[in-house]
Amino acid sequence: MRPAQLASSYKSVAVSSATPGQLVLMLYDGALRFLATAAHGFAQEGVALRNEQIHNNLVKTQKILRELQCSLDLQAGGEFAKTMFALYEFMLDQLQAANLAKDAAPIGVVERLLGEIRGAWAQMLEQAATVPA
């Protein structure tokens, strides 16, 4: 098997064996990775390549944010779910503005927010794993 096939196979097994909490963490990690790639796009010299890299990676991040938003149970999740829904909506708006204006500042805002949420989520999973059942 080639390295790309091995990586794909590993990723497939990791996703299929992950808990729902771990899947959410993977989504956060993917979104942060795409945001970083989009931010690096501003350093590209060619305008077409720069715009393509920024656009494609921001769209991928938006898809992940929409998936996270859709996974919220607004009925059972109470105020927390409503707050997260609004926060994801804010991030989506920021990324749309960044993409339209090709402005890196809103990307930084979303990176900071998403990084904090990801860190809190990882900490929660870690604490839940250490609590006896």
Instruction: Report the alpha-carbon distance of residue 21 to residue 38 in Å, rounded.
Output: 26
> pLDDT by residue (tens digit) across 77-112?
999 999 999 999 999 999 999 999 999 999 999 999
pLDDT at residue 104 in the model: 97
Give residue 129's pLDDT band: very low, low, confident or very high (50, 70, 90). Answer: confident
> pLDDT by residue (tens digit) across 37-82?
999 999 999 999 999 999 999 999 999 999 999 999 999 999 999 9
| Global model pTM greater than 0.75 | yes
Q: Which residues contact 26 (CB under 8 A, 6 or more apart)?
A: 14, 15, 18
Give residue 6's pLDDT band: very low, low, confident or very high (50, 70, 90). Answer: low
Statement: residue 131 has pLDDT above 80 = no
CA-closest candidate to residue 88, choices 112, 108, 109, 114: 114
CATH topology for 21-126?
Four Helix Bundle (Hemerythrin (Met), subunit A) (1.20.120)
CA-closest candidate to residue 106, choices 51, 53, 52, 58: 58
Of 26 and 7, the structure prediction assigns the larger pLDDT to 26
Evaluated on CA atoms 53, 96, 39, 31, the torsion sign reads: negative
Extents of the domains making up the chain: 21-126
